[in-house]
Amino acid sequence: MMSRAILFLFAFLGLFASSWVLAAPVKELSARQIGDLQCNADRLTIVGALATMQGTLSELASSASSDPATAAGVQSVQSDVTDAQQAIGTIAKALFTGQTAPASARDQVKSALLSANSTLSGLTSTDATVSSLLQKATSELKVAGAAGEGVVANCN
Ligand SMILES: *[C@@H]1O[C@H](CO)[C@@H](O)[C@H](O)[C@H]1NC(C)=O
């Protein structure tokens, strides 16, 4: 999972480099270039946040293993996040080969993250470690969600 995230980082950084850093002897940034910059920052953020969140979810899975309800919820969130990462992979592949990213992949990212949010927000624990990891995963998901909205707003 981690190496996949790193691959995406390179893919996006590659786009970033070709579209902005290398192309422009920097004088003034056009609105378009600023949009591209923000778009790429949002892409990096969502990829990073989801990779970090998977790490937190793995910790949660072992910390909550004696609590079947929480463990099942965590497993469902893991599967949603994996789903979102796969859809992002589809988008990255399309961008990398100069094709338009399929709208269905974008919808898949959104619905997977909404599903993860809805499951995650229903999970609670009296165990301090589990509870704190749940909060951590929730805030990582929030970062990913906000970056996803940024992608929709800034990547044309
Ligand atoms: C995530 O779930 C919480 C609790 O149900 C809700 O308040 C929040 O609006 C949800 N976030 C998104 C982005 O749907």
Ligand 1 geometric centre to CA of 108 (Å): 17
Ligand 1 residue neighbourhood (C-beta within 6 Å): 114, 117-118, 121, 145
Q: Which segments of 64-102 does DSSP mark as H helices, in order? A: 68-96
Closest residue by Cα to residue 145 from 102, 99, 103, 110: 110
| Tens digit of each residue's pLDDT (9 = 90 or more) over 77-87 | 999 999 999 99
Residue 117 identity: N
pLDDT class of 21 with cuts at 50, 70, 90: very low
Q: What are phi and psi of 100, to 5 degrees?
A: -70, 135
- What's the domain count of the chain? 1
Count CA atoms closer than 13 A to 23's CA, side-chain side.
13
Residue 70 has pLDDT above 80, yes or no: yes
Q: Are 67 and 123 in contact (CB under 8 A)?
A: no
d(CA 109, CA 146): 12
Q: What is the end-to-end Cα distance of the chain in Å, rounded?
A: 28
Encoded tokens for 24: 């422009």
pLDDT in tens, 105-116: 999 999 999 999
Q: Which atom of ligand 1 is nearest to the CA of 117?
A: 1
Interval between CA 135 and ligand 1 midpoint (Å): 13
Task: State the burial class of residue 70 (Cβ atoms within 10 Å of its Cβ: 0-12, 13-18, 19+).
Answer: buried
What's the pTM value of the predicted model, to 2 decimals? 0.80
Question: How many whole angstroms from 123 Cα to the centroid of ligand 1?
Answer: 13
Q: Which pLDDT value is given to residue 44?
A: 94
Check residue 74 and give its pLDDT: 98
Residue with CA nearest ligand 1 atom 10: 117
Domain span holding position 16? 2-154
**How many whole angstroms from 118 Cα to the centroid of ligand 1?**
7
Do 101 and 91 touch, CB atoms closer than 8 A?
A: yes
Looking up residue 104, the CATH number of its domain turns out to be 1.20.140
The tens digit of pLDDT for each residue in 30-53 reads 777 777 889 999 999 999 999 999
Nearest-CA neighbor of 78 among 106, 105, 59? Answer: 59
Residue nearest to ligand 1 atom 1, measured at CA: 117
